[in-house]
């Protein structure tokens, strides 16, 4: 039986793995891939200690750091599909049919972006279609961009783009902008911003890079095309938390509810960190930091000989 199974190999999972191995915890890390969501980012400029690194290289750095740890067992290319309670701990089952027993579980499975699911979106991902404005707004320097989604994330994206873009369209499907009214008032006053409500994105166009977006005006039923250089999709994220839905408390967004002091979930013996949780800000450094917090709390539990 393992002391700990870590689910996920993003910044949260890797930080947890490094700390757990150094505490000599009997630990197994199961992940689909290494590096997490910013793997697709062209340039990560805020991973502390590194001025600039591509998401791909960040993933390699994380994997290398983890594999350098003595004693850690790693399974990659597999997904945890089920976690169930057993006497003294949990049984963890993977997609490939493997099954493991552990005293404790740490979930760091992150989230996936909610996609527009329109033609061109997949083709131009990271070539003008972006899902993280904090990370990729500088690419829009002196360029025209659109933010799809009028919730708080969309408004934040417009704010992130204002110092760079020459023009920003904000597209919202509903009748009204749903994000914070104070932020919206501020954004609306800027002559660079044009708000288009009751619009549905139909297609993203481009050659090597994005060149335009086709949308339908839901009032008139007519479609129109905007010429632009970048599309920021801000229509939410979907936490990868389905495999523990019957064990831990999740909020209406599917985020795992945690105690932010310890990262413990509502189920004794299960901890969670990062984008899979109800943490307010979702960033690489935050997932890594919260993972350290969780492992130290788990270690305290193990060293005191407490069960789940």
Ligand X SMILES: Cc1cc2nc3c(=O)[nH]c(=O)nc-3n(C[C@H](O)[C@H](O)[C@H](O)COP(=O)(O)OP(=O)(O)OC[C@H]3O[C@@H](n4cnc5c(N)ncnc54)[C@H](O)[C@@H]3O)c2cc1C
Q: In terms of CB distance, is 265 or 283 closer to ligand X?
A: 283
241 interacts with ligand X by CB under 6 A: no
Q: What is the dihedral of CA 136, 16, 271, 113, to 10 degrees?
A: 20
Token output for 251: 């909020």
Beta carbon of residue 156, minimum distance to ligand X (angstroms, whole number): 13
Q: What number of chain residues touch ligand X (CB under 6 A)?
A: 37
274 interacts with ligand X by CB under 6 A: yes
Interacting residues of 66 by C-beta distance below 8 A, sequence separation 6+: 9, 14, 17, 18, 29, 34, 72, 74
Whether the Cβ atoms of residue 118 and residue 233 lie closer than 8 Å to each other: no
Q: Are strands 111-113 and 237-239 parallel, antiparallel or unpaired?
A: antiparallel
Q: Out of 33, 91, 152, 183, which residue is the one contacting ligand X (CB under 6 A)?
A: 33
Q: Out of 282, 293, 295, 298, which residue is the one contacting ligand X (CB under 6 A)?
A: 282
Q: What is the DSSP letter of 44?
A: B
Contacts made by residues 58-61, CB under 8 angstroms, sequence distance 24+: 58/284, 59/33, 59/34, 59/35, 60/34, 60/35
Q: Out of 4, 11, 106, 244, which residue is the one contacting ligand X (CB under 6 A)?
A: 11
275 interacts with ligand X by CB under 6 A: yes
128 interacts with ligand X by CB under 6 A: no
Q: Out of 91, 285, 289, 296, which residue is the one contacting ligand X (CB under 6 A)?
A: 285
Q: Out of 37, 133, 199, 263, which residue is the one contacting ligand X (CB under 6 A)?
A: 37
Beta carbon of residue 173, minimum distance to ligand X (angstroms, whole number): 21
Q: Out of 108, 199, 263, 265, which residue is the one contacting ligand X (CB under 6 A)?
A: 108
Residue window 129-168: x/- pattern of binding to ligand X, with contact defined by CB under 6 A: --xx--x---------------------------------
Q: Which residues bind ligand X (CB under 6 A)?
A: 7-13, 30-33, 36-38, 40-41, 44, 46, 79-80, 108-111, 113, 131-132, 135, 240, 243, 274-275, 282-285, 287
């Amino acid at each position: 039986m393992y002391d700990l199974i870590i689910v996920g190999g993003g910044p949260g999972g890797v930080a947890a793995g490094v700390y757990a191995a150094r505490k000599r915890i009997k630990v197994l890390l199961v992940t689909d891939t290494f590096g997490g969501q910013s793997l697709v980012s062209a340039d990560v400029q805020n991973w502390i200690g590194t001025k600039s690194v591509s998401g791909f290289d960040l993933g390699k750095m994380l994997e290398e750091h983890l594999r350098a740890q003595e004693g850690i067992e790693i399974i990659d290319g597999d997904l945890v599909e089920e976690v169930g309670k057993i006497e003294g701990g949990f049984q963890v089952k993977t997609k490939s049919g493997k099954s493991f027993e552990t005293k404790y579980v740490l979930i760091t499975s992150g989230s996936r972006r909610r996609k527009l699911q329109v033609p061109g979106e997949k083709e131009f991902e990271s070539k003008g279609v972006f899902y993280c404005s904090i990370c990729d707004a500088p690419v829009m320097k002196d360029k025209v961009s659109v933010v799809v989604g009028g919730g708080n994330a969309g408004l934040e994206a417009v704010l992130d783009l204002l110092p760079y873009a020459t023009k920003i369209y904000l597209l919202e499907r509903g009748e009204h902008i749903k994000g914070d009214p104070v932020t919206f008032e501020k954004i609306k006053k800027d002559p660079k911003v044009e708000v288009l409500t009751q619009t549905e994105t139909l297609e993203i166009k481009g050659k090597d890079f994005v060149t335009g977006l086709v949308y339908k005006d839901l009032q008139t039923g007519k479609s129109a095309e905007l010429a632009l250089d970048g599309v920021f999709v801000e229509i939410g994220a979907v936490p990868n938390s389905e495999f523990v839905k019957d064990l831990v408390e999740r909020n209406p967004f599917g985020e795992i509810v945690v105690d932010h002091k310890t990262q413990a979930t509502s189920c004794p013996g299960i901890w969670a960190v990062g984008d899979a949780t109800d943490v307010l800000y979702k960033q690489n450094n935050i997932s890594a930091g919260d993972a350290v917090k969780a492992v130290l709390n788990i270690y305290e539990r193990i060293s005191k000989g407490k069960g789940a």
